[in-house]
Amino acid sequence: MLDTYREVVTPEGVGLHLPAAGPVPRALAWGIDLAIRIGVLMLMGMVLAMLGKVGEGLYLIGLFLVFWAYPIVLESVWRGQTPGKKALGLRVVSADGAPVGWLAAITRNLLRTVDMLPFGYAAGLVACLADPHARRLGDMVAGTLVVHAGGEREHAPAPVNTVFVPPARLSPEEQGAIVAFGERAPRLTPARQEELANLAEPVTGARGQVGVQRLYGMANWLLGRR
């Protein structure tokens, strides 16, 4: 399939598709955040060095805050993003698609110490590769998910004037699926529309954009649009 969505159904019966992020973009986002934290610590060290022993104590406090409070606070108050995640178009959300809360942010970030074992995030990488939604151990325990949070993509408009009579008798389930496609497909990308149309080739007798046009036409015919 063309996408790797985690599908979540809300209590209202609305299906949400959460595009899970893999280990590569997550590692790049982590690298950006690490560079930012190192830069902050270097600047802090130069300033606090002028304060002698007091500066050393303050630096240790700052070191703790930069490496531990930085991701927790930003993910909790900045809609699940840090500067690195925002640069890569990623976001941390709860497993049900809701915004991540303080407890989940604290849990997933404290458990980085486990994901780092035995070295170089080895445990986290193995977990990401083994999990169907690329979650590391901290995400599994905290009930969170890192997803792509890109901007809204352009969608193909529905050709409402197209009518195509089904070449064979359709079952009620097939009719319902075709009508659902006609109503929802305009919100999908052209590639996703073609992917779904290819699955309906036994009914439409066509693939690709031709199959998409025929599905639209059959949906219009079933809805009485002439």
Written as tens digits, the pLDDT of the chain (226 aa) is 344 667 665 554 555 678 889 899 999 999 999 999 999 999 999 999 988 889 999 999 999 999 999 999 999 999 999 999 999 999 999 988 889 999 999 999 999 999 999 888 899 999 998 988 889 999 999 999 999 986 544 444 545 567 778 877 888 888 888 888 888 888 788 888 888 888 888 888 888 888 888 888 888 888 776 6
What tokens does 178 get? 């075709």
The contacts of residue 54 (CB under 8 Å, 6+ apart) are none
Report pLDDT for 160. 54
CA distance 135 to 129: 8
- For residue 7, the cross-strand partners are 17
Q: Is residue 155 part of a domain?
A: no
What tokens does 195 get? 């992917």
Domain identity same for 140 and 179: no
Domain identity same for 117 and 12: yes
Q: Is residue 46 part of a domain?
A: yes
Report pLDDT for 72. 95
Q: Is residue 158 part of a domain?
A: no
Q: Is residue 185 part of a domain?
A: yes
Domain identity same for 12 and 92: yes
Domain identity same for 16 and 50: yes
Q: Is residue 23 part of a domain?
A: yes
* 183 φ, ψ (degrees, to nearest 5): -85, -35
How many domains is the chain partitioned into structurally? 2
Domain identity same for 72 and 105: yes
Segments forming the whole domain that contains residue 194: 172-220
Q: Is residue 86 part of a domain?
A: yes
**pTM: predicted TM-score of the whole model, two decimal places:** 0.64
Q: In a 3-state reduction of DSSP, which class is residue 99?
A: strand
CA distance 113 to 63: 16
Domain identity same for 16 and 89: yes
CA distance 30 to 75: 13
CA distance 154 to 129: 31
Domain identity same for 176 and 67: no
Q: Is residue 167 part of a domain?
A: no
CA distance 82 to 69: 12
CA distance 57 to 54: 5
Q: Is residue 161 part of a domain?
A: no
Q: Which helix H or strand E contains 17, and what residues bound it?
A: strand 15-19
